[in-house]
Amino acid sequence: MTEKKAYRVLIVDDEQPARQRLRELLDGDAEVGEVLEAEHGLDAVEAILQKQPDIVFLDVQMPGLDGLGVIDSIGVERMPVTVFVTAFDQHAVRAFEAAAIDYVLKPYGDERMEAAFARAKARLDDKYVRELGDSVLKLLDSSRLERSFLDRIVIRERDKTELVRVDSIDCIESAGVYVALHVGKERIIHRAALGELVGRLDPRRFVRVHRSAVVNIDSVLHLEPATHGEFDLVLRGGQRVHVSRTFRPLLEARLGQSL
């Protein structure tokens, strides 16, 4: 007798009650194994890369890196089977229906949730993943047109306000509760959280290479090997940024080749 698969499921939602509700609904399914949670988009990216869940319930609207930003960061071809969860009204939901993407409308109902999860399990095959990929790519393309990515960052100091061109930034690193923008030889502290800022940057230009670092792909001069198959990026401003094994696949995807 063939043993049923225990699916690993990731719940991504910035609202704890919503995550708890989804977990309660999943707990009643005998085919669910491990249930993971992520509160923010950046945490979701890390969980997907490290834990490789079979199915993701992904909130569309989150502060910082939203649901579509998560897919943009990971890459459609690397995403697990995804069910969007959304509080959008019926008019906005038509966009998901037109793209043939599964979704669950908040507040969650038992029957609707069970139906979406059943479809997700049934579609865990290569044919579905390719079809879903085409649909999500169309949705991402249309969302990029609607989203306005930052082209300037406003840096406010006591005696002046500075405008920093985003394309001049070589990398962005966490600096406590703030971030440090590296522009050439200059290091500028900006009063914003990394997760908040990353969600407003064009994912085709900026790629996360470490839990606490994002780089401008155009600023990378060369790569140098480090220990245990890891390596460092040397940027045009002279900075060295370590690439962790967790986020190495994102860099490889942006470069279009293995490292």
Rounded-to-integer distance, Cα 26 and Cα 37, Å = 12
In one-letter notation, the amino acid at residue 208 is R
Which CA distances in Å does 153 have to 169, 191, 212? 10, 11, 19
**pLDDT tens-digit series, residues 95-122:** 565 444 566 777 777 777 778 777 777 7
Token digits of residue 155: 């840096």
| pTM (2 d.p.) | 0.74
More confident call, 11 vs 252: 11
Which phi-psi region, left, alpha or beta, contains residue 63 (left: φ > 0; alpha: ψ -120 to 50)? beta
Average pLDDT, the chain: 82
Q: What is the pLDDT of residue 52?
A: 92
Q: What is the pLDDT of residue 2?
A: 46
**pLDDT band for position 65 (cuts 50, 70, 90):** confident
Q: What is the pLDDT of residue 227?
A: 77
Domains and CATH numbers, the chain: 7-146 (3.40.50.2300), 152-255 (2.40.50.1020)
- The residue among 29, 69, 61 whose CA lies nearest residue 9 is 29
